[in-house]
Every structure is written in structure tokens, then in C-alpha cells.
């Protein structure tokens, strides 16, 4: 095994720290969207909100451009997250419906 340059080790350490931060931020985001799903179920709102999703895509694309990040990548990343959130909201709605039937 060869020694890696100090700069490479430093950069990798920074990447590892950012990866950890991303995981923590995503966990916080999903805690919030879990609550959104509960409110949607309580008020019989649909799990998906296409108009909001479209606004979020445009907003994220602008943020990506401002940050010199590929907007296509940012949109794909958001689409992945939104799909998972909708899946959670559908599960919450199903649980809410079954709770109503058993109550």
C-alpha cells in the first residue's frame, strides 16, 4: 500500500464530514415530511402535491445554478427525495384510513 498525499487525506476527511452532514440534514428533512404526511392524512389531502413539487424543482434548479452545481443533478436528487416522501405519505394515509376503520 502506498502513502497517500496529505492533501488527498485532508480532502477525503472533508468529504466524509460533508457526507455525515448530508445524512443528518436528510434525517431532519424526513422528520418534517413525516409530520406533513400526518397532517395531510388527518385532513384527507393527497400524498402528492404536483404544483408544489414543480415550484420546488424550479427553486432547486435556480439554487443549483447559483451554486455552480449541475441543475439536472439537483433535479434528479430532489425527484428521488420527493418520491420517497410521497411513498411515506401514502403509507401514513393508509395507516390513518385503517385507524379510522377500526375506531
The answer to whether 63 and 74 have CB atoms below 8 angstroms apart is: yes
pTM: 0.81
Max CA-CA distance within the chain? 66
Residue ranges of the chain whose pLDDT lies below 70? 1, 101-103
On whether the 6-102 domain is CATH 1.20.59.10, my answer is yes
Domain ranges of the chain: 6-102
Percent of the chain at pLDDT exceeding 70 = 95
Cα–Cα distance between 39 and 69 in angstroms, integer? Answer: 33
Amino acid at each position: 500500500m502506498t502513502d497517500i498525499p496529505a492533501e488527498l487525506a485532508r480532502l477525503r476527511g472533508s468529504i466524509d464530514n460533508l457526507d455525515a452532514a448530508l445524512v443528518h440534514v436528510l434525517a431532519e428533512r424526513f422528520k418534517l415530511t413525516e409530520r406533513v404526511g400526518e397532517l395531510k392524512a388527518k385532513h384527507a389531502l393527497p400524498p402528492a402535491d404536483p404544483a408544489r413539487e414543480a415550484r420546488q424543482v424550479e427553486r432547486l434548479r435556480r439554487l443549483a445554478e447559483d451554486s455552480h452545481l449541475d441543475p439536472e443533478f439537483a433535479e434528479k436528487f430532489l425527484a428521488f427525495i420527493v418520491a420517497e416522501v410521497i411513498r411515506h405519505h401514502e403509507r401514513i394515509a393508509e395507516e390513518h384510513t385503517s385507524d379510522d376503520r377500526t375506531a
